[in-house]
Amino acid sequence: MTRTPLQSLLVTGGAGFIGSNFVHFWRKRHPNARLTVLDALTYSGNRANLQGADGVDLIVGDICDEALVDRLLADRAIDTIVHFAAESHVDRSIAGPDAFVRTNILGTHALLKAARRAWLKERSRPHLFHHVSTDEVYGTLGPDDPAFSETTPYAPNSPYSASKAASDHLVRAYHHSYGLQTTVSNCSNNYGPFQFPEKLIPLFLLNALQGKPLPIYGDGMQVRDWLHVEDHCEGVSLILEGGQPGECYNVGGGAELPNLQVIDTLCAVLDRLFATDPALAGRFPDAPPARGLPMASLKSFVADRPGHDRRYAIDCSKLMRELGYRPARSFGEGLEATVAWYLAHEPWWRAILDGSYREPGRAPGGAH
Ligand code: NAD
């Protein structure tokens, strides 16, 4: 099998957080590549995330719709699928796991079947199916355990991570059973532009600006490895260009931190910005610094999430050694840049908070 030409990419979930960052990243690096986004525009998908991505076609549709995927693969001569589409929020999976089983397991399987039909049935064509997954499939670590590696046994603890684990296994099986050329990446907690404000960093940032409580689960000492989304995109790009079919690669940011430290750092960044830019108090009069109080005064401890994994840590030395991956941003730099992005894109997040981002035809304030 010759290496995939990467001429025509189908990016599933490309209107979501990581997918849209990947689309912008790939468009900049490969201005002539053909890019098609397939996205159902669920609550976390947003047309505005793709504003400024010239020549990218957004097809609003469901990855479970096999006939649609068949048509896209044929009509657009797709040679590479980069699969981000998923239900992605752990709390939602605990409240209602069905959507996670449907999209993450059945949806991934629908894509695999369509890929097999398009690429392997008559004449085998150069292709690649890259599946984006999570470090949560590995379960949880004790304080002194070694970080997750690609050979760590799977032990998912939430319906979200169980559904991602199942999809990883299906991708693996399609490689071994049918010879589909697949790669898988398992990454840690991402943060950066366009992240839906239900995840920790954007939720706490926007709550802080509005003077709302910062609800910290349990004792706040759950440890995560924080990965700036552009470093993640770089990792995926290296895998697309040089990864070995059938292989899995961990992608991490080298920033293992307890949630409480992330929240305190975020509060400190905001306090400093309010102290140096008096206009912020006018824009956000309900934020504590506008009333002479520190952002940290909003911290409030709430009951822990059921089955909350205590620690994730990711060993990405395989990706570093084999494909030259290096996360380019420290957590401090990445967080400063993220706060600056949200401050500069208020119409984008206001439209999410008031629900108007879901109105047909509307795409405010999304330029990258
Ligand atoms: P997201 O929720 O922001 O985006 C998911 C996108 O998928 C949305 O645009 C949504 O509309 C789309 N989608 C959902 N169901 C669909 C369906 N049935 N058909 C077509 N499109 C559908 O998620 P994200 O944070 O960007 O995550 C992207 C991928 O990365 C996911 O596979 C997730 O499991 C994985 N991941 C995310 C993180 C993280 O920190 N965000 C960490 C590890 C792995």
- Catalytic residue set: 135-136, 160
Candidate from 4-8, 109-113, 131-135 with smallest mean pLDDT: 4-8
Among protein residues, the one whose CA lies closest to atom 12 of ligand 1: 13
Distance CA 317, CA 312 (A): 16
Mutation pick for ligand 1 pocket among 18, 23, 87 (CB with most ligand atoms within 8 Å): 18
Residue 44 maps to a domain: yes
Distance 119 CA to ligand 1 centre (A): 25
Q: For residue 1, what pLDDT is reported?
A: 45
Amino acid sitting at position 59: I
Amino acid sitting at position 341: W
Residue 350 maps to a domain: no
| Locus of tokens 């400093």 | 272
Domain that holds residue 35: 8-196+226-257+313-330
- CATH number at 160 reads 3.40.50.720
- Mean pLDDT, residues 96-118: 98
Could you tell me if 51 and 363 are in contact, meaning their C-beta atoms sit under 8 angstroms apart?
yes
Question: How many domains is the chain built from?
Answer: 1
Residue 203 maps to a domain: no
Distance 88 CA to ligand 1 centre (A): 5
Nearest atom in ligand 1 to the alpha carbon of residue 187 is 43
Confidence of residue 360 (pLDDT cuts 50, 70, 90): confident
Distance CA 172, CA 349 (A): 37
Could you tell me if 350 and 284 are in contact, meaning their C-beta atoms sit under 8 angstroms apart?
no
Residues near ligand 1 (Cβ within 6 A): 12-13, 15-19, 38-42, 44-45, 62-64, 84-88, 103, 107, 132, 134, 164, 187, 189-190, 196
pLDDT more than 90, % of the chain: 93
Does residue 314 carry a pLDDT above 80?
A: yes
Confidence of residue 70 (pLDDT cuts 50, 70, 90): very high
Q: For residue 366, what pLDDT is reported?
A: 43
pLDDT more than 70, % of the chain: 97
Residue 338 maps to a domain: no
Q: Hey, what are 84's tokens?
A: 């981000």
* E strand or H helix at 161: helix 159-178
Among protein residues, the one whose CA lies closest to atom 41 of ligand 1: 190
Residue 273 maps to a domain: no
Using left for φ > 0, alpha for ψ between -120 and 50, and beta otherwise, residue 140 falls in beta
Q: For residue 50, what pLDDT is reported?
A: 98
Say what angle helices 108-120 and 66-75 make with each other, to 10 degrees.
40
Q: Tell the burial category of 169 from Cβ atoms under 10 Å away from its Cβ (0-12, 13-18, 19+).
A: middle
Nearest atom in ligand 1 to the alpha carbon of residue 194 is 3
Confidence of residue 368 (pLDDT cuts 50, 70, 90): very low
Residue 306 maps to a domain: no
Residue 266 maps to a domain: no
- Mean pLDDT, residues 248-259: 96
Among protein residues, the one whose CA lies closest to atom 15 of ligand 1: 86
Predicted structure pTM score: 0.96
Closest CA to 225 of 90, 330, 303, 340: 330
Mean pLDDT of the chain: 95
Residue 281 maps to a domain: no
Distance 156 CA to ligand 1 centre (A): 18
Measured CA distances, 51 to 39, 86, 198 (Å): 15, 21, 22
**Residue scoring higher pLDDT (123 or 60):** 60
Among protein residues, the one whose CA lies closest to atom 29 of ligand 1: 84
Nearest atom in ligand 1 to the alpha carbon of residue 62 is 19
- Mean pLDDT, residues 78-93: 96
Among protein residues, the one whose CA lies closest to atom 13 of ligand 1: 85
Does residue 171 carry a pLDDT above 50?
A: yes
Q: For residue 359, what pLDDT is reported?
A: 84
Could you tell me if 110 and 144 are in contact, meaning their C-beta atoms sit under 8 angstroms apart?
no
Distance CA 86, CA 42 (A): 10
